[in-house]
Amino acid sequence: MKTLLYIFLGLVVYLGSMPKETMEENQWKVASESEVVIVGKTNINTFECQSFKYSGKDVLTEILFPEQKYAVWSGEVVLSSDSFDCFNRIMTKDFHETVRAEEHPEIRVRFLDLVRKNLGTPQESLTGNVEITLAGVCRRFPISCKLFKEENGKTLLKGSQEVTFKDFQIDPPVKFLGAVKVQNSISVNFGLVLEKI
């Protein structure tokens, strides 16, 4: 019995003497000037639909592990489905109908586990996974993006993700008796302006 007690005490002392991994947590507010643009193509031309009137209330969390020189980012950005403008009244109306804006008023971009490895450089890469919720359907995708330090003291998280309408159980729009067909693949481009809280 004494032997077991000595082993237990030795283990406690050993574990207590091990260096503890330090970590820091930062909160980043997503500023209202952030941009999310959906880019697509038809059989005739390309189109862009940009989100306006973003509230700027969302927060991303960064967990830093300075000794290992990496960080993990997570958080969610919520956009109004009807805030997207395609710079053409008919196309904007079609976009809102396609994403079922009345039934599903929010488009969500949720960063799950973005890992930032090259700390301290002017342009840092992050890789991980993102969940996009569109028209009430949530899908997960691998993603790569960049982190830029701006001269005004803010930070820009920039990236792009290719998705398809079919990923979200949406049929690509067809207009004018089939004369205009939207391609299945679209690109979600984002430039999130971050302010450290």
Percentage of the chain surpassing pLDDT 90?
Answer: 57
Residue type, 189: N
pLDDT at 138: 96
pLDDT at residue 123 is higher than 90: no
Burial of 34-67, coded b for 16+ CB within 10 Å and e otherwise, reads: bebebbbebeeeebbbebeebeeebebebebeee
Mean pLDDT of the chain: 85
Q: Which domains does the chain have, with CATH numbers?
A: 20-196 (2.40.128.110)
Q: What is the pLDDT of residues 186-195, one digit of tens each?
A: 999 999 999 9
Q: What is the mean pLDDT of residues 64-79?
A: 88
**3-class SS of residue 100:** coil
pLDDT band for 150, please (50, 70, 90 cuts): confident
pTM of the model: 0.80
Q: What is the pLDDT of residues 1-51, one digit of tens each?
A: 555 444 554 544 444 544 455 888 999 999 999 999 999 998 888 999 999
